[in-house]
């Protein structure tokens, strides 16, 4: 047994101060991932600071049509918020598909941004893993890696980022608001999630004690016609083998705007910028969709076990794009 001290923070400033002052401490929100990792001896904090009492549960509609989501807002509450469902359907769908109902009622939006990878080698607390023990190696490179990443990988890590809603937020150019010892900071979401490179244990730019307090999602008309498509081994609660968050605007059969991000195939929520470049100004047809998807996956780095993800991701993108641009087409 390992002794762990526990306290509840009454305000953001005291929560930040307590964790900042103790390098062995960590924040505790919904606990749907962190408690598992504590039990598995993957995370070893000596102090947990519970932030569930902090006034960070809001889901606020902004005058410009955007939405601001408090970090302690539950995933289920955000998915059901009228402003999210009406103006950001891809985000609402990603939240519903991201976890079981029980987990959605507990898990927080800020915690979802900070959740750790689902790689079995990271979670067994024994195998060499550069995320858990920097410099020890990556067991997944030559191990069982069917579910691992094919984009954004390095020789140090090929673990897939697990979040669904972060994929939608990536497509929507969300911004992450934090409070820390250095004051308020705002991160573009693409900068908030780091590629592994040679330092896969550094997943975010946050300082120790820096707390996510909110997520800002700016309104964009392209989100009105959007969806989240998730392909997995089973229909019930399971992580994505490939997923797509996409919004499209067309005029007379030509794509005037598009946002697209991938999940399940990369080491971070993956903004498919090559796809967007190919599609803007192009005809909205299957041939164009397939060409754009192929260009995005051209730099994929595969193993014999996960090479199938290249075609799967391409097919998933094509299906999602066809669904949005041809509403009468059967799914």
- Angstrom CA distances, 43 to 19, 28, 39, 116, 293, stand at 15, 12, 8, 10, 38
Which pLDDT score, from 0 to 100, does residue 69 have? 98
Has residue 331 got a pLDDT over 90? no
Which pLDDT score, from 0 to 100, does residue 328 have? 64
Has residue 329 got a pLDDT over 60? no
Mean pLDDT on 296-305: 97
Choice between 36 and 76, residue whose per-residue pLDDT is larger:
76
Has residue 330 got a pLDDT over 70? no
pLDDT digits (tens, 9 = 90+) for 148-185: 999 999 999 999 999 999 999 999 999 999 999 999 99
Which pLDDT score, from 0 to 100, does residue 35 have? 84
Has residue 228 got a pLDDT over 90? yes
Mean pLDDT on 236-258: 94
Mean pLDDT on 45-63: 95
Which pLDDT score, from 0 to 100, does residue 44 have? 85
Q: Which residues contact 148 (CB under 8 A, 6 or more apart)?
A: 119, 140, 158, 159, 160, 303, 306
Has residue 58 got a pLDDT over 80? yes
């Amino acid at each position: 047994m390992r002794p762990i001290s526990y306290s509840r923070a009454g305000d953001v400033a005291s929560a930040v101060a307590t964790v900042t002052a103790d390098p062995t401490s960590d924040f505790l929100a919904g606990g749907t991932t962190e408690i598992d990792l504590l039990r598995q001896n993957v995370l070893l904090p000596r102090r947990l600071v519970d932030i569930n009492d902090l006034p960070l549960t809001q889901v606020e509609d902004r005058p410009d049509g955007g939405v601001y989501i408090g970090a302690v807002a539950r995933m289920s509450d955000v998915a059901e918020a009228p402003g999210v469902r009406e103006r950001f359907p891809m985000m609402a769908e990603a939240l519903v598909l991201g976890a079981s109902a029980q987990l959605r009622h507990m898990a927080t939006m800020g915690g979802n941004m900070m959740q750790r990878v689902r790689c079995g080698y990271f979670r067994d607390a024994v195998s060499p893993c550069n995320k858990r023990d920097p410099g020890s190696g990556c067991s997944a490179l030559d191990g069982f890696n069917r579910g691992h990443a094919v984009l954004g990988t390095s020789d140090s890590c090929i673990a897939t980022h697990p979040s669904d809603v972060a994929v939608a937020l990536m497509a929507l150019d969300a911004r992450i608001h934090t409070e820390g010892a250095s004051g308020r900071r705002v991160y573009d979401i693409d900068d908030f999630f780091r590629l592994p490179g040679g330092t896969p244990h550094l997943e975010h730019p946050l300082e120790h004690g820096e707390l996510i307090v909110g997520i800002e999602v700016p309104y964009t008309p392209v989100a009105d016609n959007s969806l989240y498509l998730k392909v997995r081994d089973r229909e019930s609660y399971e992580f994505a083998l490939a997923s797509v968050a996409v919004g499209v605007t067309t005029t007379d059969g030509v794509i005037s705007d598009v946002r697209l991000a991938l999940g399940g195939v990369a080491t971070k929520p993956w903004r498919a910028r090559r796809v967007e470049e190919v599609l803007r100004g192009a005809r909205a047809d299957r041939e164009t969709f397939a060409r754009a998807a192929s260009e995005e996956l051209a730099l994929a780095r595969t193993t014999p076990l996960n090479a199938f993800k290249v075609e799967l991701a391409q097919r998933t993108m094509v299906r999602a794009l066809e669904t949005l641009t041809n509403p009468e087409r059967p799914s």
